[in-house]
Structure formats: C-alpha cells, structure tokens
Structure 1
Amino acid sequence: MKKIYLLFVMLFAGAGYASAQQQYELTQFFQNPQALNPAFTGIEKYWQANVGYRKLWAGSSYAPQQGFVSLNGSFYKPDLRLNAIRISRPEAYMENLTDREYRKLNARHGLGLYYGYIGNSVTTDDQGQITYSYHMPLSRKINVSAGAGLAYLSTYLTPGGYKVRQQQDLIYQDLMQSGVRKRQATINVGLALYGENFYAGYSSTRMAFLKNTTDEGFEDQINYVEHTINAGYQLPLSHSLRLQPSILVQYDRLMEAAVYGNVKVRYNELLWAGISYRNKEAYGLMMGFLLGDHLSLGYSYEQNIYEFDAAHNGNHELVLGYRFFRKGYKANSYFW
C-alpha cells in the first residue's frame, strides 16, 4: 500500500508543478506576454483578446489538450489637441513637448486577464490570473514598466482516470470515489524595459501565500519560486520586412532551465512566419496573418525530440486574436 501511495504522491506533485509551468508551454508565447510577466500587461496601445488551443501528441488518443483565453490592454488619456493637427508628420507635435509633458502624456496603466487549462484522462490543471502594470517613459525612446499578478492554480486528480494492479488498496478506492484536488494562490511580480525595437523583462512567479488540498499527504509540498527572463528585438530588413528574434528562459530549483526561442520574419502588419525551438524538447514552424485591421490568426506545428513523443506525432497550436481600439497604432507592435 505504501508503494501505491508513493506513486500517487509523485504523480500529484508532478501535476502540481505542471499546473504552474505548462500553462505557459506555448510555441507562440509572444501572443500572451502578460501571462509570462505582468509588467508586459498593456505594452501595446490597444486592447487584444486571444483564444488558443494546443493539441499535444496528435497521434495519441490519450494525449493532453491545452487551451487558454486572455485579454490585456492599457488605459491612457490621449491628448485631444492631436485631433486638431493637420500636418503630414503628426509626431512633430510630440517632439515639441517638454520631457515632463512627454512622460505625463505617455504614462499609462495596463490590465490583463488570463485563464488556461491542460488536461488528460488522469489530471486536469487550471489557472486563472489577473495582472496590473504601470508604464512610464524614461526617455523619448525607452520605457520602463512594473507589474503584479494574482494567480489561482488548481490541480485535479480525476477519479477513475487511472488503474493500478492492487485495486483493493484503500487509498486507491478513496481516490476512485472522490478524486483529489490541490489549490494554490500565488503572487507574480515583474519588471520590463522596452523601446520601439526591443523588449526585455524579468519576473518571479509562484510566490505562494495560500495552499489548500483535499488530502493531508499533499499539504507540505515544497514550492519553488520560478524565475523568467524574456527578450526580443526587431531588426528592420527593409521598409516592409522586419526580423524578430526572441527568447524565453524559465528556471527554478526543482527543474532544469527551460529555454524557448523563435525567429520570425514579419511583413508589415499583414503576415509573419518563423521557426521555434525548445531545448531538448521540440522544434517547429509557425505562421500567422492579420485579417483586416482587427482579427489575427496564428498557427504553429512542433515536432517532439524525445523518442516517445516523436512516436506520437507533433503538437498543433492555433491562436485567434482580436484587437480593440487599434486606430493610430498600427506600426507599433512589440510582440505580434
């Protein structure tokens, strides 16, 4: 019985860690910057809502599935005097502002919401988060932001979703009847520095302040703070083309550092294509385009590196987005 109990402890502990990290294991992680670092909430001067779906191990009938919905944007007070300007280069008005006036006009607040899940026949992990940020120009070309997020994590071990050899075990019988659920509330904080052609950020997640579980065996689980660093750059290749490399690194004391990287080529605000890589896990291709001024669609395919994963085909990911209040800021996208 002790062996079976230890098996469930290991399974549940691993699922608990997955609930904190795998929610963000997305090829197109740049589509939800606020989920990685709350300081990136509202980095664009428009609002965007995203809906995504990720199918892992597409060749397996027991493969985990992942999905998310998100919303983030910024609040600011536009200078109404800009409406009266009738010149070919409106940015000349901004150049004539004093540094104090420029900072006051461009400081803004960001607000974001995120919900994601990943599940299979054994476990289901849910995560919801609300984020806030404050953005302040340091100069005409560089901005700094700080943010915080409140996240709720839940891992549920499904009753009847697994089988063991000794089915008369009392712990197994109890799990079959009621399942086990672990809940955790965390605070996430972050900082970011960005300009017209770059961004860089650092965040700390899983700073837990509340834990709850329906089984006493999981009450004392150790929780490690996770550190995340992400950065990206836009290199103009021509008037219409931009090269956009970006990297994401996640680390905690429990697991080996995870490195995500991608390189995209973007043609104006119409379409993009690129390649991606996750260290020792997968590599893939991705593409996307903008349908009109508001609707966007992104797709990616990953081929797993591990022999077991590779035998179950790859991962498909689809992200549908909609942009609100985007007029006037079409040339200023940091992440898309």
Structure 2
Amino acid sequence: MTSTTTFPEPTLVAVNGVELEVFEAGPRDGRAIVLCHGWPELAFSWRHQVPALAAAGYHVIVPNQRGYGNSSRPAGVTDYDLVHLAGDLVGLLDHYGHENATFAGHDWGAMIVWGLALLHPDRVDKVINLSVPYPERGEKPWVEFIEDMLGSDFYYVHFNRHPGVADALFAANTARFLGNLFRTDMPPAEMLELARIDGPGGEPLMSDSELAVFVAAFEKSGFTGGINWYRNADRNWHRLADVDPVIKKPALMIYGARDVVPRARNLTAYVPDVEVVDLDCGHWIQQEKPAETTRAILEWLDRRNAT
C-alpha cells in the first residue's frame, strides 16, 4: 500500500496556556473548519480531507491537541479535562480571528466537539462528528457506567483504575500496538493485548509510511497525555451537570457500519437538527473511507451553507 497524500507544515500556536502544533490549509478569509482527532491519533488522521476542504474554500485548521505530537503535554491529569480541551479550540478561533467555525471530530475528538458545543455554543457554527455519538449524561458518572456494562478490565475503565500501566505498555511496544490497532476491522483482542500480540486480523488501514508518522510521534510523546483524556471522563460528567444538554446547532453524524462503538439510541432528543450518514467501514472512518467521508462532509456543508 502506498500513499501520495501530502500534509501541510506545522506551526506552533500559543493558546490557553499551552502550545499546539497546528496544520493549516486554505484561505484564511474562508469559512473556518477545525478538524479534531481522536485517540491514539494525530492531526495527520485528517490527511485525506484537508486538500478537498481547502480546495472548496475553507480555512482548514487541524491541531495536534494537547498531549499529542509536538503540542504541549502538561503534567497534571486535570489539565486534560473538557474545560481545558474546549478552551484550546476556542483559543485557536481567537488566534486566527474567527468568530465561529464548523468543528469536526472523530473518536475522542468527537467527544470534545460535543462538549464544546455545550460549553461555547456561540463559537460553534456547525458540528460534524464521526463514530462517537452524543454522550448522553445518565445518572452514573461515565467510568462507573462503563464498568457496570463492560467490566473492570475494559480498557476505558483500566486507564482510570490503574494509572500508568497502559501508558508504559504502549510506550514499550509502540509500533506493534499501533500496527495492530490501525486495521480495517477493530481487532477483537482487549486493547492492552494489542501491545503484546502479532497478527490480530483485519487489513492494515494505511501504508507503512503513513503508519510510521504515528509511530514516530508516539515514540516521542508517549501515550500518557492522550490517555489522560480518559482519566477526566468523570470530571467532565460532573462539569456538565448544570449545562443545557441540547445542542442547537446543525449536526452531521457519520457512523461506520462495522464500528465497535455503539450508535446513539436517542440522538435526536439531544441533537434535534442532525443528519445521519452510514458508511461501510469500521472505526477509523475518515481514513478507511476517505473519499466517501470527504464527499459526505462537503455535500452536507454545501446544503447547510445554502440555507
């Protein structure tokens, strides 16, 4: 597998008390769209969408969010809560002089975009999220809820209950872990096992040269910053207790039909102006089905911008 995709050169941007490594394309006076990666990913995860969005006239802003790449990696766990991560995105708008933007997120990036739309609705024009639907805030904090559903060994719970264990395991086996994880069908093995085994099944998601970008970045940064996003899940649950839970912005929700992340059962109750698109793929939607994802985004933006 080979790739001819090029990616913009980065700039370090000071926002919200940290520096973010930001990749930028398209005209600065165009409509802004901010693309937010998930875990364990990078801005590079959006490499297939950036050229088309820029060619369509959008000012495309793609950060390595805090904890990733060459962006700041604060030491405190609570420095990675929703308030800080959403604040970083607001800081990018301020830096580039945009009143608001369309925000697109995948995986944990989607979680942050949903939260941003709740905490800073005036800075969000539209929402585009992939894989992870709106997280309904139930009666139990999210980690406890997931533990009740999936058990204490589930990686999301393990990250919280055993700090440092997964971080060290992934760092010691970075190439194996990422090579096993980035496949067209999410491997059936437990997340931590992907750092220990070979040949988990599924086809490689990307070329060797593309995978090398992720491996080099995480060999340098480690995994703790990104895992600390998980360690703030319950803190985020408490932070949203008094926030209006309904997102009143136009939204596009893109699911992968073979994704292991479950679909929302009650999405329109919390995101009433939402359109849903299903693609025949697994979890890594914009990398596994790049052309289809880009087309869905651009067609939806064209329709919504025309109204």
Please give the TM-score of this superposition, normalised by the length of structure 2: 0.26
Between structure 1 and structure 2, the one with the greater Rg is: 1
* Larger relative contact order, structure 1 or 2 (CA cutoff 8 Å, min sep 6): 2
